[in-house]
Structure 1
Amino acid sequence: MPNSSVTVTVPATTANLGAGFDCIGAALSIYNEFKFTLLSEGKTHITATGKEAERVNTNIQDNLLYQSFVKLCDRIGKTPPSVKMEIGLGVPLARGLGSSATAIVGGLVAANVLAGEPLSQSEVMDLAIEIEGHPDNVVPALIGGCRLAATGASGWEICDIPWHESIIPVVAIPEFELSTAEARQVLPTEISRADAIFNISHLGLLLRGLETGKQNWLQASLQDKLHQPYRKSLIQGYDKVSAAAISAGAFGMVISGAGPTLLALTDTTHAIDVVVAMASAWQELAIKAEVRSLAIETQGAKVIKGSGE
């Protein structure tokens, strides 16, 4: 393999944005860092640093980062080399911010670079979607920005969603977790025609609201009838935090991914007030939470090639 080490930095993501269930995601300015170093001797092993590092499964057979690394090697017909994998955690685990997508993208990109980049970005993206099962997190994690993904005649079609510079994403990350599987289980298997029409119209309005930053469009568009009415019962304090965010100047609030992180969209004028209001609302319920004003990450996964040790 031409390169002996590679470091891949992958952003967190927020998926759905309300009406864009399972098709829209945006990359955020929180990151995981993955360093892969080829070993001339010894077995593949994993280390982790950062908050919650002790919770990372370092058994390579069960680790999603390594599984994704192996998946790409298999796809190109190469035997996976022995590597040292160093994980630097910045994205909270199991909070609805795409931590699993960062591992998938990190493993795939690292394997591709170490192999001399035989696969295009589009081919890596397709493989990431195949592993994850849906595109909304892995696509923006890989290529950045806010993206809409839909299946076309010959595969996935990825559409860039313009994000107006005045729109500020604020994430409220509670200490408790919510598994994607649990969040999926509460969803109904069928929906009414009225609810389908509601989401179609609000998705269209959301796209225009994000592009223009128009306040009344964003206020109306951050609603959904496919997943949030069912999932919010799993998130203690949802209504209280939502009311606090909107009262402080947020256009609205949605569940980030499967939750429990909550995402408010606001403008530069009200961002600090929204952060304080959301934090205070959960504090009043005796729930510890980290609330942060972020930015959209436009580049996605970043690669630094090295010469190893």
Structure 2
Amino acid sequence: MSNPVCVNVRVPATTANIGPGFDCLGAALTLYNQFQFTALPGSRADSLPSLAIEVEGTEADRVGRDRRNLAYKAFCYFFEHAKQPIPNLHLKISLGVPLARGLGSSATAIVGGLVAANALAENPLSQAQILDLAIALEGHPDNVAPALLGGCQLAVFDRPTSAWTLCPVQWAANVVPVVAIPDFELSTEAARAVLPQQSSYADAIFNMAHLGLLMKGLETGRGEWIRVALQDRLHQPFRTALISGFSEVQNAAMDAGAQGLVISGAGPTLLALCTPEVAPAVAAQIQAAWGHQGITARVATLQLDLKGAIAQPVSA
């Protein structure tokens, strides 16, 4: 490689689970991290490539600038999979997705690194193959699938072929996501540690029925279906105790007209679904309810991102 080659990748935040869709359902939101990968001349197969990372945006001081950086690890994983030398690299990260809040920040890094590597390698892998690598790195598909593909995605594993089937879920225009991001964190590890090792048939059937109803509720925008469908027995009953003020915020959102309020991913961000008419009131009441608990929260009314990860080459 004689000249620098550069690609910008924009990756959306995601909200996973959406109530009953534990570890299989997620949606991309209009909140983004951006990554600029510049491959530099002089890469060698017999030595460690050089690396420089700069980070800007809120919480930039918390993002690693060495080879443990997750976007860089995903970038290297691609080249190792493709059996190609890892190029020398300058990586610039612009943060818009908060860290450790249940909005898929790690998924943006994984998808960003893989998509950029594929672009710099002249696209040897299909989108489906990139998704397989992303799931292998993340461990489950609910965040990386919508981060890569956009929209709302249901991911199903086919055991006989060991392959993932992705089913796009229609999302009506009158279903508005409102996210409430508190000023405290909750690690995915802590949120998973409180889950039971086994569930009853009754709870499994409960979630299957509610997930089916949620698919139709999101497709049609029928608020009464969404309200019922957002109930869950597999993860939220065990995680709400880890989120201060959850009940108060949930009650405030419902009183303001929300169709439901659930934990976004592992939390602590909360996701309310509502109509456009009541979205401002829902956002205001959520913020006020957490404020009464002494918790500062950033509340944003967003939209569904339909494009997923976008890579744009940059002229040298």
What's the TM-score bracket when you normalise by the shorter of the two chains?
over 0.9
Which region of structure 1 is more displaced relative to structure 2, 174-183 or 32-41?
32-41
Which of 261, 265, 272 lines up with 2:269 in the alignment? 261
Question: 1 CA distance for matches of 2:304 and 2:238?
Answer: 27
Which of 143, 159, 174 lines up with 2:167 in the alignment? 159
Offset at residue 78 of structure 1 (A): 0.5
Offset at residue 40 of structure 1 (A): 2.4
Offset at residue 221 of structure 1 (A): 0.4
Query: 2:94 aligns to what SS in structure 1?
Result: strand
Question: 1 CA distance for matches of 2:39 and 2:169?
Answer: 38
Query: 1:149 aligns to what SS in structure 2?
Result: strand
Q: Deviations over 1:226-271 (max 9, x none)?
A: 0000000000000000000000010010000000000000001100
Question: 2 CA distance for matches of 1:231 and 1:6?
Answer: 39
TM-score normalised by the chain length of structure 1: 0.98
Offset at residue 192 of structure 1 (A): 1.1
Paired residue for 1:63? 69
* Structure 1 moving runs of 4+ over 4 Å: none
Paired residue for 1:272? 280
Which of 110, 129, 135 lines up with 2:141 in the alignment? 135
Show the 5 A alignment for 1:107-122. 107-122=113-128
Question: 2 CA distance for matches of 1:83 and 1:136?
Answer: 29
Residue ranges of structure 2 left out of the alignment (5+ in a row):
43-48
Question: 2 CA distance for matches of 1:12 and 1:202?
Answer: 24
2:4/2:38 contact within 8 Å kept? no
Q: Deviations over 1:8-62 (max 9, x none)?
A: 00000000000000000000000000001122268211110000001101122x1
Question: 2 CA distance for matches of 1:11 and 1:298?
Answer: 9
Show the 5 A alignment for 1:1-309. 4-40=5-41, 43-60=50-67, 62-152=68-158, 153-154=160-161, 155-308=163-316
TM-score normalised by the chain length of structure 2: 0.95
1:170/1:294 contact within 8 Å kept? yes
Give the letter aligned to residue 39 of structure 1.
L
Query: 2:129 aligns to what SS in structure 1?
Result: helix
Question: 1 CA distance for matches of 2:310 and 2:114?
Answer: 13
Question: 2 CA distance for matches of 1:75 and 1:190?
Answer: 35
1:251/1:265 contact within 8 Å kept? yes
Question: 2 CA distance for matches of 1:3 and 1:71?
Answer: 21
Query: 2:107 aligns to what SS in structure 1?
Result: helix
Question: 2 CA distance for matches of 1:232 and 1:279?
Answer: 17
1:3/1:305 contact within 8 Å kept? no
Query: 2:298 aligns to what SS in structure 1?
Result: strand
Query: 2:282 aligns to what SS in structure 1?
Result: helix
Paired residue for 2:45? none
1:12/1:30 contact within 8 Å kept? yes
Structure 1 vs Structure 2 CA RMSD: 1.1
Query: 1:20 aligns to what SS in structure 2?
Result: coil
2:20/2:229 contact within 8 Å kept? yes
Query: 1:265 aligns to what SS in structure 2?
Result: strand
- State the number of aligned residues: 307
